[in-house]
């Protein structure tokens, strides 16, 4: 089996339709029929798109039509074959393709030997247990002990695991509905933690991607690497910012993620953004944590995602840098392919650009 994988991610509103079906349902049906190794649908809490209309969890109407992100991961050949079908189904939204590498017992090559920053993504079942507690507790504890800069746990509501479709239902234990854990560390930390993760989890699927750590606990480590607009073959290059903060951490009295979305929109620095709420996690030196029964603010992680041209990402980072002066974790990644769809108008494509930096 090849270790070269692709991650296909679509961002849109949950009630978006294609023909007479919801796009989310059509995508997950496609991934189920195709026996995609893993896919997961995540509900967001805030977003805006090219028309700069903000949707947030402050609005009662958004509870009926929240933003969603649907990610699918499998071999490069399989995902490349599904990419155009996924784009055709997405009548309004954003679709990205990113390179990844499968790691773990089924991979044929070493995890990573360079000290570059790596993004490790771990997919487990919602009700999978380790020593009687949810598996994501044990995973985050292991990542924290190994010195990872941060980790966020996102609860899926639909998806596939090892090629089988699993949906969250009210009257079900939802054992295999996917949970996605994103962690930021070095290549060496990924290699060191792998034996422990594989001993803790049953049949985990883990991928690793290159990333750049720009900020940690408010400290600026480096701006996103400047990228050209196109690669050597004329294919457009795109860039992604991921901003990891806590819902309880405020800027001028509002949660940081809301301030980021508002300022990005008002300054028209970015074409869009999506915010996902986690259920558990940590960043920096803060121990893993999540919701508690009695507390004054939600202690869950939130992640703000911005994907755009390198020029717009540079402008967006100026805003993010100012708003995360004392808190949060910020990363940047190269996105080799992107398609933006708006009322039938398409921008970009599914051919993968190449660039080394």
Residue 105: per-residue pLDDT: 52
State pLDDT tens for residues 163-220.
Answer: 888 876 543 444 567 899 999 999 999 999 999 999 999 888 899 999 999 999 989 9
Q: Which two tokens stand for residue 340?
A: 């933006």
CB atoms within 10 A of CB 347: 13
Average pLDDT over residues 37-64: 81
State pLDDT tens for residues 239-295.
Answer: 999 999 999 999 999 999 999 999 999 999 999 999 999 999 999 888 999 975 444
Sorted by where each begins, the domain ranges of the chain are 4-338
Confidence of residue 62 (pLDDT cuts 50, 70, 90): low
Q: Which two tokens stand for residue 116?
A: 């570059």
SS (H, E, C) the chain: CCCEEEEEEEEEECCCEECCEEHHHHHHHHHHHCCCCEEEEEEEEEEECCCCCCEECCCHHHHHCCEEEEEEEEEHHHHHHHHHHHHHHCCEEEEEEEEEEEECCCCCCCCCCCCCEEEEEEEEECCCEECCEEHHHHHHHHHHHCCCCEEEEEECCEEEECCEEEECCCCCCCCCCEEEEEEEEEHHHHHHHHHHHHHHCCCCEEEEEECEEEEECCEECCCCCCCCCECCCCCECEEEEEEEEECCCEECCEEHHHHHHHHHHHHCCCCCEEEEECCEEEECCCCCEECCCCCCCCCCEEEEEEEECHHHHHHHHHHHHHHCCCCCEEEEEEECEEEEEECCEEEEECCCCCCCC
Nearest Cα neighbor of 103 from 242, 179, 211, 5 is: 5
| b (16+ CB within 10 A) / e for 221-260 | eebbeebeeebeeebbbbbbbbbbbbbebebeeebbbbbb
Confidence of residue 145 (pLDDT cuts 50, 70, 90): very high
Residue 58: per-residue pLDDT: 67
User: What Cα–Cα distance (Å) separates residue 141 from each residue in 132, 136, 215?
Assistant: 15, 8, 22
State pLDDT tens for residues 91-122.
Answer: 999 999 999 998 865 554 445 444 489 999 99
- Sign of CA pseudo-dihedral 27, 29, 30, 36: positive
Average pLDDT over residues 125-136: 92
Give dist(CA 247, CA 297) in Å, integer.
8
Asked if pLDDT for residue 296 goes beyond 90, the answer is no
Confidence of residue 5 (pLDDT cuts 50, 70, 90): very high
Residue 189: per-residue pLDDT: 95
Asked if pLDDT for residue 338 goes beyond 50, the answer is yes
More confident residue, 235 or 344: 235
């Amino acid at each position: 089996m090849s270790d070269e994988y692709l991650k296909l991610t679509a961002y849109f509103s949950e009630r978006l339709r294609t023909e007479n079906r919801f796009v989310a349902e059509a995508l997950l049906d496609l991934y189920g029929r195709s026996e995609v190794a893993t896919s997961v649908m995540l509900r967001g809490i805030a977003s805006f798109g090219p028309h700069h209309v903000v949707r947030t969890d402050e609005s009662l109407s958004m509870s009926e039509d929240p933003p969603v992100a649907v990610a699918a991961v499998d071999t490069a050949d399989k995902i490349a074959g599904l990419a155009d079908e996924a784009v055709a189904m997405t009548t309004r939204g954003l679709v990205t393709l990113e390179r990844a590498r499968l790691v773990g017992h089924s991979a044929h090559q070493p995890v990573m030997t360079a000290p570059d920053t790596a993004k490790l993504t771990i997919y487990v079942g919602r009700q999978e247990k380790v020593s009687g507690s949810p598996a994501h507790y044990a995973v985050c504890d292991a990542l924290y002990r190994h010195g990872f800069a941060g980790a966020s746990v996102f609860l899926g509501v639909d998806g596939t695991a090892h090629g089988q479709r699993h949906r969250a239902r009210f009257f079900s234990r939802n054992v295999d509905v996917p949970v996605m854990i994103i962690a930021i560390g070095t290549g060496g930390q990924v290699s060191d933690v792998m034996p422990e993760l594989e001993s803790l989890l049953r049949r985990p699927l883990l991928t690793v991607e290159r990333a750049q750590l720009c900020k940690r606990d408010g400290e600026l480590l480096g701006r996103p690497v400047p990228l050209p607009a196109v690669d050597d073959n004329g294919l457009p290059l795109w860039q992604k910012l991921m901003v990891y903060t806590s819902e309880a951490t405020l800027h001028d009295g509002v949660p940081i993620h809301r301030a980021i979305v508002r300022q990005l929109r008002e300054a028209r620095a970015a074409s869009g953004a999506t915010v996902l709420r986690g259920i558990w996690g940590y960043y920096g030196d803060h121990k893993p944590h999540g919701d508690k029964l009695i507390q004054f603010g939600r202690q869950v992680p939130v992640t703000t995602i911005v994907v755009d041209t390198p020029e717009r990402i540079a402008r967006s980072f100026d805003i993010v840098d100012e708003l995360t002066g004392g808190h949060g974790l910020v990363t940047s990644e190269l996105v080799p392919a992107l398609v933006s769809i708006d009322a039938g108008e398409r921008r970009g494509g599914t051919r993968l650009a190449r660039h080394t930096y």
